Amino acid sequence: MTTGSLGFETSVFDKEYITLAGQREGIVRGGRDLFDRLPRAFEGINQIAVIGWGPQGSAQAQNLRDSLAGRVRVVVGLREGSASFDAARAAGFSEADGTLGEMFAVVAASDMVLLLISDAAQAALYERIFAALRPGATLGLSHGFLLGHLDQRGGRFPEGIDVIAVCPKGMGASVRALYLQGVETNGAGINASFAVEQDRSGRAVERALGWSVGLGAPYTFQTTLRSEYLSDLTGERAILLGGVHGIVESLYRRFRDRGMTEVEAYRHSVDCVTGPISSIVSKEGLIGLYRRLDPAEREIFGQAYAAAYPVGLELTHEIYDEVSSGNEIRSVILAGRRLAEFPMGKIDQAAMWRAGEVARRDRDDATLPLDPFTAGVFCGVMMGQIDTFIAKGHPYSEIANESVIEATDSLNPYMHARGVAYMVDNCSTTARLGSRKWAPRFDYLLTQTAYPAVDDGAGALDTALVKRFEDHPIHEVLRICGQLRPSVDIFVQ
Amino acid sequence: MTTGSLGFETSVFDKEYITLAGQREGIVRGGRDLFDRLPRAFEGINQIAVIGWGPQGSAQAQNLRDSLAGRVRVVVGLREGSASFDAARAAGFSEADGTLGEMFAVVAASDMVLLLISDAAQAALYERIFAALRPGATLGLSHGFLLGHLDQRGGRFPEGIDVIAVCPKGMGASVRALYLQGVETNGAGINASFAVEQDRSGRAVERALGWSVGLGAPYTFQTTLRSEYLSDLTGERAILLGGVHGIVESLYRRFRDRGMTEVEAYRHSVDCVTGPISSIVSKEGLIGLYRRLDPAEREIFGQAYAAAYPVGLELTHEIYDEVSSGNEIRSVILAGRRLAEFPMGKIDQAAMWRAGEVARRDRDDATLPLDPFTAGVFCGVMMGQIDTFIAKGHPYSEIANESVIEATDSLNPYMHARGVAYMVDNCSTTARLGSRKWAPRFDYLLTQTAYPAVDDGAGALDTALVKRFEDHPIHEVLRICGQLRPSVDIFVQ
């Protein structure tokens, strides 16, 4: 992790400073009123290529096209024969007007290339992509996996180009959905980080900020590409996906063992996390969730929190080590080679997720329980991730977005609508592999150590941990981040 | 994996050939009648040092001392101030007669040094150990972790010494217990592999064979140090420890969900695997277990087998990739650095293992069920490991011992006596970390994909897989291996 050299200047947008837990960070707010500045931000860029039509590719291509309204051309590039050509055409891109074409031809014809194909495809194709780039082009990434892969291989980005990243802190589906809400509610969107890895043109910062504002990010904060991939890969393996999956599996089983029906257990575990907890934390922060509880509930919350926090802290540290040592990226590459022989099975056939399908059918969000035990476990694991990122020196904007806001504003609402199993089965291969690897670890550690500690009263209530929760600087950070985006309906239909 | 260059000659022992699944392997049988040959095998060696008093160190030091009966001196070397000095003294080693001393002094005074300290200690101390070795000394290892670690670091064994390995295919406790049984039943013991990594003296093979015969190995087969650590680290993460733990957790839950009491569920999962299944497979092989079942039971076995085999195959392939890429060894080193801050919790407090403690108390081994579903799952995962090792080119002796015999003759009887949780909580740090990492993966995959496939009848009975089980060459291999060791009581009190 190296964020020591952060700092940027912009003459196109308005840089502001916010102070998060005593750290000053320069940020740029977004909003539709800034779209007129985009041509200046993209000065020297006649054509932006969006390569790939996955969740990020399709969302970003449409948002940028709509934001730029023809002032800079946005062209989608796809693999020859890709099944996504039809979907891109349906979204208004076409070969006829030159806004849709074969990937390498589009790369060679564009001044700025946003490489939004899967990690496996990036690993397989990056040398050909690099070779196809124009001299002086700008290469854009939406997360740092390729840097991690290059580090492993001892490879480098080509000299003579700009390399930047804009990393929305949410799924592609949310990037598009909240952007569309922005028509009514100016500033609605998914926050993004940006990073400048190489700046040969001297215009890298403006281009990155233009890209982020064009996507509809309520606010954009700075990071490095390495800091981004460390926190991004760790976060999706921990509280954002793997962790939350393991948490709800362990809680569902616990509630079933204590006599709840399948539906009740599902309401108190999965529905509670993806519904009321996420919704309250999104608007009122973790401390707001805590304040909703009465004294008896706070006691239960505290016990669950004190038992779960060490599990979250230990496992997030382990994941972080695995990511930063390169193990996790090597695992993803190795798994990719096995997929032809061993395709990933779906998890949604397991008994719990079938019960969940039934439970979701007649769900009334207004009557979902706010279970204090579930809240304590979820917040404990989440705080374990927050404290890991603080210990590793990440900027607070990255910590808050990668540990809390991405969960409550993007992923959890999606899981609420479709189910956690659906989410795990349908996210990116890198995230899916990570979730399948780490969810069982969270489940086992919670079941083997955290819950017995609560039930024995042996660990009793570690009041020092609860006190640290109450006084944690993250609450003030979340309050400030909350002011930087409008409160919109985050629910997914 | 490179076993292409296997082959050895001995003028001290009697080399025999066995043919396993069409592959000819040279082996050496053991037995107490061969102890008289040990001084010839150790020609040029006046003193053998056993460094460390863990399970392997304490067993091997005592077995060698008893086998050599003073004809070559066996000296135990321990870390200054080690708490194990008392235990070594109680076993008859003493500073007074020069058979016990400080580690580095003992190394420097010995001709042959068996390095049996923990993997973490080997990683931390190997440079000092190498420096303390006499020129021309013989360094002995009991598994290949140090080679894996050197590979990671770009390090090498010192020039000018012999480097050999003798790797008992069982826990230290079994190495000692079965050796003692050998007094009554000549040839009882734990099979071992041997490897010659460096042979500067021209005597490396004889010394390795002498060491193995001195430990009481019924038969000794050849491998390479790299083949050994690939199969050893993979095996303990898969069926030997991590796999069996995940299997019984998933089965216990399944049986509970289907209405069994805690005790019944424990009998049909844990007790069944570590008791009747292991005992039958030890004596009659996997096919003998199958033949015990009546037609209706074979149908159940077949369904469970056909559903579990793909899980075993997929996960053992993944583990093998993680081990051979170096990821797993890096993970162990990284975990070692975290242990001070995050000590490993015990798993024996979880509800299932508490129930098991109660269940074990009034267990009557004569009435334990041979559950055909449990047998099918266990054999399926085990065969997944066997087929992985075959695909990777390991010699059949290594495959049979590392996948089946070590489980049935050493580890499972121990788990039967003390509980699986006790075993996981008390094995080597490397094995323990591996088990905690992989057991949950086996559990999740069985629960998410294998059991739903059985219950839906969707996968129905894959008769081709069951037919392949019936015709598998491993059965003949196990029959031949069975003839190479006497049938002794493997039960642990």
Of A314, A341, A448, the CB nearest to B347: A448
Contact A334 B342 (CB under 8 A): no
Of the candidates B224, B192, B205, B219, the residue with the CA atom closest to the CA atom of residue B12: B205
For B325-428, where are the alpha helices, taking DSSP H only?
A: 327-338, 351-361, 372-391, 396-400, 406, 412-418, 420-426
More confident residue, B9 or A188: B9
How many CA within 13 A on the CB side of residue A225? Answer: 21
Contact B448 A314 (CB under 8 A): no
**Which residues of chain B neighbour A325 with C-beta distances below 8 Å?**
330, 334
- To the query of whether residue B143 is one of the catalytic residues in this protein, the response is yes
Asked if the model's pLDDT at residue B3 lies above 60, the reply is no
Q: Which has the minimum average pLDDT: A77-81, A149-153, A367-371, A485-489?
A: A485-489
Report pLDDT for B424. Answer: 78
From CA A339, how far away is CA A341, in angstroms rounded? Answer: 5
**B47-51 β-sheet, strand order:** B15-20, B23-29, B219-222, B192-198, B162-168, B138-141, B112-115, B47-51, B73-78, B100-102
Residue pair A335/A344 in contact (Cβ under 8 Å)? The answer is no
Report pLDDT for A489. Answer: 62
B491 pLDDT tier (thresholds 50, 70, 90): low
A419 pLDDT tier (thresholds 50, 70, 90): confident
Q: Which two tokens stand for residue A114?
A: 């946003």
3-state secondary structure of A40: helix
From CA B342, how far away is CA A313, in angstroms rounded? Answer: 9
Of B327, B341, B349, the CB nearest to A452: B349
- List CB contacts of B107: < 8 A, sequence separation 6 or more: B49, B51, B77, B113, B129, B132, B133
Of B310, B322, B441, the CB nearest to A331: B322
Asked if the model's pLDDT at residue B347 lies above 90, the reply is no
From CA A431, how far away is CA B351, in angstroms rounded? Answer: 31
A476 in a known ligand binding site: no
Per-residue pLDDT tens digits for A33-61? 999 999 999 999 999 999 999 999 999 99
Candidates B260, B319, B328, B349: best to mutate against A (most CBs of A within 10 A) is B349
Q: Which CATH class is domain B234-483?
A: mainly alpha
Q: Which two tokens stand for residue B402?
A: 């590392």
Chain A contacts to B (CB-CB under 8 A): 253, 257, 310, 313-314, 317-318, 321-322, 325, 327, 330-331, 334-335, 338, 341-342, 345-347, 349-351, 436-437, 439-441, 443-445, 447-449, 452, 456
Contact A447 B350 (CB under 8 A): yes
Per the listing, tokens 């989440």 go with A382
Contact B448 A349 (CB under 8 A): yes
Report pLDDT for A490. Answer: 58
Cβ neighbours around A157 below 10 Å, total: 19
Q: Which two tokens stand for residue A479?
A: 């309050």
Residue pair B245/B424 in contact (Cβ under 8 Å)? The answer is yes
**Which residues of chain B neighbour A318 with C-beta distances below 8 Å?**
334-335, 338, 342
Dihedral sign computed on CA atoms, order A322, A325, A326, A331: negative
Report DSSP state, residue A411: I
A335 to chain B: closest CA residue: B318
Cβ neighbours around A23 below 10 Å, total: 12
Q: Where are the domains of chain A?
A: 15-219, 234-483
Instruction: Give mean pLDDT, residues B433-458.
Output: 91
Q: From residue A1, give the alpha-carbon distance in Å to each of A20, A146, A223, A394.
A: 19, 16, 10, 7
From CA A177, how far away is CA A74, in angstroms rounded? Answer: 19
Active site residues of A: 143
Report pLDDT for A3. Answer: 46
Report pLDDT for B459. Answer: 53
Residue pair A249/A439 in contact (Cβ under 8 Å)? The answer is yes
Contact A452 B313 (CB under 8 A): no
- The mean of the pLDDT values for chain B is 93
Q: Which two tokens stand for residue A489?
A: 């309906």
Per-residue pLDDT tens digits for B348-387? 888 888 889 899 888 999 999 999 999 999 999 999 999 9
Per-residue pLDDT tens digits for B156-198? 999 999 999 999 998 898 899 999 998 888 888 999 999 999 9
From CA B72, how far away is CA B75, in angstroms rounded? Answer: 10
From CA B250, how far away is CA B474, in angstroms rounded? Answer: 26
Backbone phi, then psi, for A124, in 5-degree steps? -80, -35
Furthest C-alpha separation in chain A: 71
Report pLDDT for B82. Answer: 95
**Between chain A and chain B, how many beta carbons pairs sit less than 8 Å apart?**
93
Amino acid, single-letter form, for residue B363 = R
Contact B452 A350 (CB under 8 A): yes
**Which residues of chain A neighbour B459 with C-beta distances below 8 Å?**
none
- The mean of the pLDDT values for chain A is 93
Report pLDDT for A25. Answer: 94
Per-residue pLDDT tens digits for B394-417? 999 999 999 999 999 889 988 998
Per the listing, tokens 């969000």 go with A365
Contact A448 B322 (CB under 8 A): no
Q: Which two tokens stand for residue B439?
A: 């057991």
Contact B444 A440 (CB under 8 A): yes
Smallest CA–CA distance, residue B243 to chain A, in Å, is 14
Instruction: Give mean pLDDT, residues B213-219.
Output: 96
Report pLDDT for B458. Answer: 55
Instruction: Give mean pLDDT, residues A278-283.
Output: 94
From CA B262, how far away is CA B362, in angstroms rounded? Answer: 13
Report pLDDT for B488. Answer: 64
Of the candidates B164, B210, B165, B172, the residue with the CA atom closest to the CA atom of residue B190: B172
A1 pLDDT tier (thresholds 50, 70, 90): very low
Q: Which two tokens stand for residue A272?
A: 């509670």
A458 pLDDT tier (thresholds 50, 70, 90): low
Binding residues of B: 232, 236
B388 pLDDT tier (thresholds 50, 70, 90): very high
Report pLDDT for A74. Answer: 98
Per-residue pLDDT tens digits for A302-345? 999 999 999 999 999 999 999 999 999 999 989 988 988 998 88
**Which residues of chain B neighbour A444 with C-beta distances below 8 Å?**
347, 436, 439-440, 443
- The architecture of the domain spanning B15-219 is 3-Layer(aba) Sandwich (3.40)
Residue pair A26/A7 in contact (Cβ under 8 Å)? The answer is yes
- List CB contacts of B218: < 8 A, sequence separation 6 or more: B29, B30, B31, B187, B188, B189, B190, B191, B484, B485, B486
Smallest CA–CA distance, residue A343 to chain B, in Å, is 9
More confident residue, B32 or A418: B32
Contact A347 B452 (CB under 8 A): no
